Amino acid sequence: MFDRRLVINFDWILLLTVCLLVGIGIVNLYSATANWQDLSTPFYMKQLIWLGGGLTLVLLLCCFDYRHLEHFAVHGYVITLGMLLFVLLFGKASMGATRWIDLGFFNLQPSEVIKIAMILLLARIFGRTAHLQGFRLGELWQPALWLLLPVVLILKQPDLGTALMLIFIAGSMLLFAGLQRATLFGLGVLGGLAAVAGWFGLHDYQRDRILTFLNPEADPLGRGYHIIQSKIAVGSGGFLGKGFLQGTQAQLSFLPERHTDFAFSVFAEEWGFVGCGLLLFCYFFLIIWGLYIARHAADRFGMFLAIGVTAMIFWHIVVNLGMVIGLLPVVGVPLPLFSYGGTSMVTTMIGVGLLMNVSMRRFMF
């Protein structure tokens, strides 16, 4: 049962990188929320608790062979899809969107869970069907359907960020599985048409966000405010930053959402280009390490699983950073392991646990 090789092969590098990132995130969170006095439990303490929970999840996820998950991938997917439907019908509304199921101690967000379920399902499908010649368009209707079902449900919520995230994750896995040139071209055309059609299907606030992104200064106090304040925070940090707890944009509350989506802006303001460079290097290393795990996975399911999880973390990083430094429109995507938030922490840690699982069992054959 218990295999000593599991301990020997335990991926300390992955765990250390993750802990390092979460650690930096918590220190940053301490600063971001330093002027929020009357809270019984400060945010950094809560995040520490979430970290504890997350690490427990990682350990739990290592205890069994990930290959068992392949059997449950379809079940997991169907159940999560059911939850998404449930949320649409009965979910808890908050800020104009319906995303949560109230479990009493925890607000379950099925759109987060579907990321993992989707990765598992696609890893199963691609693991079985991928071939070196690459997919033809005709072979893709099935994964496309599995992708579009939750995407549509999530867009209904509406949550453009998460829907795009799902598309990015699935797209990355598909690209890795391989596509014929004609298929790639066909998908490109389809994607373009979908984007055009989507523009008209977008909610006004979503369209505004994109327009605002293109020209934030047009509405500095309204919709452009987030981007402008974030850019000011990042830019004013300069080379060495203003110092811990010294960021005026953060400490005087000019930055919105600074403990969640804009946590990186706080960090950039206080630690400067040097700090950002180091943080980005850590993330880069994490992604490369994820690819390394995929490359050394024991089987194709494990490989695609690792690719999917890595893609998930990667796209979250890119979309979040792109947003806070004004390269991408504001879509509410947190920075994994760094932004405050239980949901993000749990999802990411499940991903890390799966990576760890794949990594530990790379020599199992």
Partner 1 sequence: MGLDAKWTELPEVQRRFLLFSVVVAIIFLLLILRLWFLQIVNHEEYLERSIRNRTRVLSLEAPRGPIYDRNEVLLVDNRPSFRISVLRQDVADRTKLLTRLAELLEVDRDVLEQRWQKGRHFPIYRPVPLATDVSREVLERIQEQGVDLPGVLTEVRPVRDYLEKGSVAHLIGYLGEISEEELASEAYHQSRAGDLVGKVALEKTFEPFLQGEKGRRLVEVDVKGKLLRQLQMESARPGNKLYLTLDRELQRAADEAFGEQSGAAIALDVENGDILAMLSRPTFDPALFARGIASDEWRELLNDQRHPLQNKVIAGQYSPASTFKMIVALAALREGIVGTKREIDCQGDFKLGGSRFRCWKKAGHGPTNLKKALRESCDVWFYQVGLELGIDKLSAAAKEFGLGAPVGYPLPGEKAGVIPSQKWKRARFKQPWYAGETVITAIGQGFVLTTPIQLAVMTAALANGGKVLKPRLIERIEDWQGNLLLRPETEIVREISYSDAAWKAIKQGLVAVVNEPRGTGQIARLEDVVIAGKTGTSQVVRRKSDEEEELDEGGDVPYRFRPHALFVAYAPADKPKIAVAVVVEHGQHGGSAAGPIAKTIIERYITLQSARSGDGG
Q: Which helix (H) or strand (E) holds 185?
A: helix 181-201
List the one residue from 283, 344, 355, 360 that touches partner 1 (CB under 8 A). 283
Report d(CA 324, CA 268) in Å as an integer: 10
Closer to partner 1 by CB, 54 or 127: give it.
127
In order of 19, 23, 34, 212, the CA distances from 226 in angstroms are 29, 26, 20, 10
List the one residue from 47, 249, 339, 344 that touches partner 1 (CB under 8 A). 249
Q: How does DSSP assign 278-311, residue by residue?
A: HHHHHHHHHHHHHHHHHHT-SSHHHHHHHHHHHH
Site for partner 1 in 317-336 (CB under 8 A): 318, 321-322, 325-327
Amino acid identity, position 145: L
Residue entry with tokens 């070196």:
132
Does position 314 bind partner 1 by CB under 8 A? yes
Does position 276 bind partner 1 by CB under 8 A? yes
Q: Is 356 helix (H, G, I), strand (E, B) or coil?
A: helix
Report d(CA 139, CA 135) in Å as an integer: 6
Does position 44 bind partner 1 by CB under 8 A? no
Closer to partner 1 by CB, 74 or 318: give it.
318
Q: How far is the CB of 171 from partner 1 (least distance, A)?
A: 12
Does position 299 bind partner 1 by CB under 8 A? yes
Closer to partner 1 by CB, 202 or 232: give it.
232
Q: How far is the CB of 46 from partner 1 (least distance, A)?
A: 23
Across the beta sheet with 92-94, what order do the strands follow? Answer: 92-94, 97-102, 107-108
Residues that bind partner 1 (CB under 8 A): 67, 70, 127-128, 132, 176, 178, 229, 231-239, 248-249, 252-254, 268-269, 272-273, 276-277, 280, 283-284, 287-288, 291, 294-301, 303, 307, 314, 318, 321-322, 325-327, 365
